[in-house]
Amino acid sequence: MTRRSPLAWLGGLLAVYLAVPLISFVVRVSTSSERGFATPGLWSALRTSVESATIATAVIALFGLPLAFALARHRGPLASILQGAVALPLALPPVMSGILLVYLIGPYTTVGRWFHGRLTGSVAGIVLSQVFVAAPFLIISARASFAAVDRSLDDLAAALGHRALVRFFLVDMSVAASGIRAGLLLTWLRAIGEYGANVVVAYHPYSLPVFTYEQFSGAGIPTTQAPTVLVLAAAAAAVIVAQVRLPRRAPELAAARAPEPGPSIPVGFDLDVRAGSFHLQVCHQSRAHRLAILGPSGSGKSLTLRSIAGLVAGCGPVTYGGRPEPRIEGRRVGYVPQGQPLFPHLDVRRQVLFGRDADPGLARYWLDTLGLAGLEERRPTQLSGGQRQRVGLAAALATRPRLVLLDEPFSALDAPVRSELRREVRRLQMGGLSTVVVTHDAEEAALLADEVLVLSAGRLLQAGPTGEVFAHPASPEVARLLGFELLDGTADDGGVRCGDVIIEADCAAVEKGRPVVWGTRPENVRVGAHGRYQAAVIDSASLGHVTAVTLGLGGGELRARTSEPVGMTACFDLGEVLVWDSQLA
């Protein structure tokens, strides 16, 4: 027998406490002969309450949702003050809220005189009191929901051609819809049940709570049953309406149509961006249509890509094919952010057709080409990581972009899927697709780019054709990022002294005896029985047909792979060795 959690018992006790009064009331009403449904003024009070609560909720939604969105997106003293002001009505007893409102809209105030003293004692007065006491329920709920929306989705929608107001409705409002619906429901229920502020601000016409209190004070409990039943019925109806989801017409995909080849788009930029204490300064004019930006985490790669996309205001001039670019919505770029972000409320079909200029025929073609056929009805949570990455790429390509920007597109994927998608992107590039790829993987940069930029700490360390940069890294830092094996040594006659071994290398530019950093690519380390150098084997691991070996050399480590057996020591040869003066590097 499964043991119940104490939490379930605690929750059950509260549920019983909330349900018992309701059950008792239902029993009393069903057995009562005098319920009060014929009491004069009952139905007009119901109409007043429903009408005023609905108007108040509409007013709160009109002004409260933009306020909630602003509070979710901004920080600072002003936002903190506004949040406190929004929450203030929750801390006040309703009667005191009514007193505060009388100071604002009472018949002898400036505002009251504008309306000839008619704001109080009217439906308008009831609405104003309900707005004051009920607004926090929507604003606080919506703010929390807006704050939970992934900001990268807004960037993605902008890159797909949607302007700010459209993004607010299509992305932020849609993703936060459940929280907004809950806030609207609580707001309406709070408004229709308001008594204290209504009594002070607008005693007449009677709202249903005021009418109920009048009946209780005059005739006692029996005639209060009818208004209580009506309020419960109205609340139940509101809860049911809040659960209704209006059906939306699914967009249609057309017959698959292959993309037409477009011109190559080399990118140029002169960026100067500050993000907190981080300062990015990068200037480059590419000559190739396949560009890679390589660097460690925190080097500014993603900020550079977002600037190229037009998502960073005031970053500096950006050109596509030599022409200055307009704001992000008009650039016609396909942007695939890091982390496989997709719109959580849309299925695959709607994802690929979300772009403002999405072509249904191209969308069908890319779904088929990227192996997504048959997944059109699935939501992001029903997709694997590789499938989500493909959907993001298909959505970007379906808008006929001139340039596709890929931010660490394969970093979160397992090795087989990563390899497959790399090949797919390379195949698209061979067909003429212009791309800028951000990566920390040197092999990925070499595979997907004809030109590479190496960044570190917001600065450009080296740029040029991929083969040239990989063959001649400008510094040990660049070499390390390109995957070189680096060790310390000392310049000597004929090479570099590393411990007791002299490694043959060109040290003509370095004075003998100076400390140097030397390195070579891992594939240039060849372990074999007849190698000219010898080192201790620190570690080895069998990978099936090859063995990964770590060699100890002069206090450093050199990694290699070999198909030959290794023991405590190993002989090895080296291919090309590069040397840098340690004090100048």
Angle, helices 6-31 vs 225-243, to 10°: value is: 130
Residue 117's SS3 state is: coil
pLDDT given for residue 32 in this prediction: 78
Q: Are 428 and 437 in contact (CB under 8 A)?
A: no
How distant is the alpha carbon of residue 145 from its chain centre?
13
The 10s digit of each residue's pLDDT in 316-356 is 888 888 787 767 777 788 898 887 789 999 999 999 999 98
Q: Are 232 and 32 in contact (CB under 8 A)?
A: no
Query: Position 55: which residue type?
Result: I
Query: Position 471: which residue type?
Result: A
CA nearest neighbour of 209 among 184, 237, 188, 231: 231
The 10s digit of each residue's pLDDT in 524-559 is 888 887 888 888 899 989 888 888 999 998 888 888
Take residue 272 and report the two structure tokens written for it.
Answer: 């100067």
**CA-to-CA distance for 488 and 514, rounded, in angstroms?**
11
Torsion of CA 388, 393, 396, 402, to 10 degrees: 170
Mean pLDDT by 10 residues, the chain (585 residues): 74 89 85 81 93 96 96 90 90 90 89 86 92 96 95 90 92 95 96 92 89 85 86 91 83 84 86 92 92 92 91 87 74 83 92 92 90 91 89 90 88 78 84 89 91 94 94 92 90 87 86 89 86 89 88 87 86 89 75
Question: Which residue ranges make up each domain of the chain?
Answer: 17-243, 267-471, 484-581
- Pairing outcome for strands 451-456 and 459-465: antiparallel
How many other C-beta atoms are found inside a 10 Å radius of the C-beta of residue 534? 13
Give me the residue label for tokens 């372990």: 527
Q: pTM (2 decimals)?
A: 0.83
CA nearest neighbour of 316 among 362, 269, 363: 269
pLDDT given for residue 405 in this prediction: 92
Given this chain, do its domains 17-243 and 267-471 carry the same CATH topology? no
pLDDT given for residue 25 in this prediction: 84
Query: Position 508: which residue type?
Result: A
CA distances from 445 to 133, 166, 414, 452, 464 (A): 58, 36, 18, 7, 12
> Which top CATH class is 17-243?
mainly alpha
Where do runs of H (alpha helix) occur along 74-163? 77-91, 94-105, 110-114, 123-147, 151-159
Q: For residue 407, which phi and psi values (nearest 5 degrees)?
A: -105, 105
Q: Which residues contact 100 (CB under 8 A, 6 or more apart)?
A: 92, 132
pLDDT given for residue 2 in this prediction: 58
- Helix H, strand E, coil C: the string for 364-390 is HHHHHHCCCCCCCCCCHHHCCHHHHHH
Residue 518's SS3 state is: strand
**CA-to-CA distance for 494 and 580, rounded, in angstroms?**
15
Residue 50's SS3 state is: helix
**CA-to-CA distance for 402 and 420, rounded, in angstroms?**
24
- Pairing outcome for strands 323-324 and 278-285: unpaired
CATH architecture, range 267-471: 3-Layer(aba) Sandwich (3.40)
How distant is the alpha carbon of residue 32 from its chain centre?
57
